[in-house]
Amino acid sequence: MVVIAPEWSFDEAEIFALYDSVGWGPWTRDIARVCRSLANSHLVITARDESGRLLGLARTVSDDEMICYVQELLVDKEFHGQGIGRRLLEHLKERYAHCRYFMLTTDHESTREGVANHAFYRRLGLIEHHEQKLSAFGLRVGDT
């Protein structure tokens, strides 16, 4: 049984193991910063099994009115393909259904990660900005 629930405090070793399982080096290089970003988020939900093992996590940045930005959604590599990512994202879609914008950034479809992520997000009903005559802009993503 997988339980999806909000959490407010974060164990660095546990968070490291989850992010490391999907090879997110820029995050695991400073796990204390990741834990601060989780603590400062609007909402963090986790997926845990009956023993309490952390299987996945998603977090949002939001004003709870106009915009919900999904920043990070990941499932421990060992547990991919078991519907956990779907449950995390469906939970967020429902929780923020009243917001005008429900958005996220992910790798471009021309990359290996992008191919997988685009397939996942499309399966969950999300569409790319340009498909609804919108564009997303940002400063160049740096190393920090």
Ligand X SMILES: CC(C)(COP(=O)(O)OP(=O)(O)OC[C@H]1O[C@@H](n2cnc3c(N)ncnc32)[C@H](O)[C@@H]1OP(=O)(O)O)[C@@H](O)C(=O)NCCC(=O)NCCS
- Residues that bind ligand X in the complex, under the rule CB under 6 A: 22, 72-75, 80-86, 106, 113, 116-117, 119-120, 123
Q: C-beta of 120: minimal distance to ligand X in Å?
A: 4
**d(Cα 27, Cα 139) in Å, to the nearest integer?**
19
- Considering beta carbons, is residue 6 or 83 the nearer one to ligand X? 83
Q: DSSP per residue over 3-53, as a string? A: EEEE-----HHHHHHHHHHTT-HHHHTTHHHHHHHHHTSSEEEEEE-TT--
Of 125 and 133, which CB lies nearer to ligand X in the complex structure? 125
Name which of 65 and 77 has its Cβ closer to ligand X.
77
At its nearest, how many Å lie between ligand X and the CB of residue 59? 10
Closest distance to ligand X from the beta carbon of 78 (Å): 10
